[in-house]
Amino acid sequence: HPWAASAQLFDSAEAVQAHFESPTYPDHDLKANRTSMLCGALIFNDALSSSHVGYTLRFNATLPPDPNLPPISRLLMASRIKTGSLVDHKEQSEGEGIFSSAGIVWYTQSGFLAMQRTVDTFLAGLGPDGRWPRNVTTGQGSVSGAGLLGEDGRPHIVVPFPTAPWQMDVFAAMMPKLLASFLLTSLTYSVNRMIAAVVHEREARLRDGMRMMGMHPTAFYLSWILTYLAVYAFISLGVVLCLSLGSVLPHTNPSLLFLWFMLFAAASISYALVISTFFTKAKTAATVGAVAFFASSFLRHLARPGSSRGFLRLLSLCPPVCFELTSKTIADMESQAMGITWASVHIPSANFSVLDGFGMLTLDAVVLLVLFV
């Protein structure tokens, strides 16, 4: 066995402990490049002829930093790795410990796993008399050192047990940060065209001319609202089909997505009408208006995971922010393979639910339209 030359036999567990506690331990010979330090100890608690053989593996607790970890992680972890358990019982809460990945690192990289597999393979091949039934030295029916070490090509996967089966969808994990921006971009062009058209109509005094011919103000406002609601209906339908049939949001009810887009469309129309009042030139309005509409969505960064529900609703008075917060809630639920349905529309994520978003978008549409009129 490749480990035979490095193995050292002791009469008992007490002899092993006395060896560790010896004042001369460990002895280093730098010239010969040898040391008496032991990386681990195997102690059999029962006779090998017993039907149930128990054993103890003792390994050093002090290891060098893990080279696979970032420097800051190695600095924080230092060189002392917890080896007693994969659960930190010092931070227990209501009887349940907190899982620590440091135990996994130690278990897989210290040699403990290789030694455990070697001993288990050895014990599995013992005969009833506690002897190895095959001739290892001659190679007749032998089990090679590679087999004892587990280097037989079989994959070795180490996971904390028990662990429920799960899947990781990288796209779903990244979606909460990206979905809102992509969807908002798909609707920005329509808002841009509406702002430019409203300002151009004012610039050309078309509205004044129609009023002189007896057009009622209600008809003027309804013409803009109904026209762009129809435009948004086609856009919303196309985006919903892409999200649902394209398996981007496969667990969310398509009717809820369509309602969400249409409510945002109504709020965006009112928001665009308010923005148009600050411009007198159509070209300036087309550029600055669209930028102002999209840039206002960055107010969402004022929201934090611990933000109160009232503060999130206050931010939602700006339609792009409300759209972003609702989008994040939908993406969070989707990343958990749950999605949003009519039964779960009220469930909040970070103190904000889709139902909150629907209510605030409706309020935004009404309040902003009143301000424009």
Q: What is the mean pLDDT of the chain?
A: 75
User: What is the C-alpha separation between 282 and 196, in angstroms, rounded?
Assistant: 5
Under the banding of pLDDT at 50, 70 and 90, the label for residue 176 is low
Q: Is the pLDDT of residue 154 over 60?
A: no
Comparison of pLDDT for 185 and 155, the residue scoring more: 185
Q: Is the pLDDT of residue 317 over 80?
A: yes
Q: What percent of the chain has pLDDT over 90?
A: 10
User: What is the C-alpha separation between 321 and 70, in angstroms, rounded?
Assistant: 36
Task: List alpha helices for 163-253, DSSP H.
Answer: 170-203, 206-212, 217-245
Q: What is the DSSP string of 258-297?
A: HHHHHHHHHHHHHHHHHHHTT-S-HHHHHHHHHHHHHHGG
pTM across the whole model: 0.55
Q: What is the pLDDT of residue 136?
A: 44
Angle between helix axes 217-245 and 254-276 (nearest 10 degrees) is 140
Comparison of pLDDT for 258 and 300, the residue scoring more: 258
Strands 87-93 and 40-44 come out as unpaired
**Across 13-17, 112-116, 130-134, which has the greatest mean pLDDT?**
13-17
User: What is the C-alpha separation between 203 and 195, in angstroms, rounded?
Assistant: 12
246-274 pLDDT, tens digit per residue, is 878 888 899 999 999 999 989 988 888 88
Q: What percent of the chain has pLDDT over 70?
A: 72
Q: Is the pLDDT of residue 69 over 70?
A: no
Q: Is the pLDDT of residue 360 over 90?
A: yes
Q: Residue 25 in contact with residue 36, Cβ under 8 Å?
A: yes
Q: Is the pLDDT of residue 218 over 50?
A: yes
Q: What is the pLDDT of residue 76?
A: 42
The structure tokens listed for 248 are 């981007």
Q: What is the pLDDT of residue 173?
A: 65
In sequence order, what E strands does the chain have?
28-29, 34-35, 40-44, 55-59, 87-93, 96-99
**Across 133-147, 156-170, 305-319, which has the greatest mean pLDDT?**
305-319
The structure tokens listed for 234 are 């086609």
Please choose, from the candidates 352, 349, 321, the residue with its C-alpha nearest in 3D space to the C-alpha of residue 180.
321
Q: What is the pLDDT of residue 211?
A: 77
User: What is the C-alpha separation between 31 and 48, in angstroms, rounded?
Assistant: 39
Q: Is the pLDDT of residue 47 over 90?
A: no
Beta partners for residue 88, in sequence order: 98
Q: Please return the burial class of 74, using the count of CB atoms within 10 Å of its CB with bins 0-12, 13-18 and 19+.
A: middle
Q: What is the pLDDT of residue 111?
A: 73
- Phi and psi (nearest 5°) for 127? -85, 180
Q: Is the pLDDT of residue 130 over 60?
A: yes
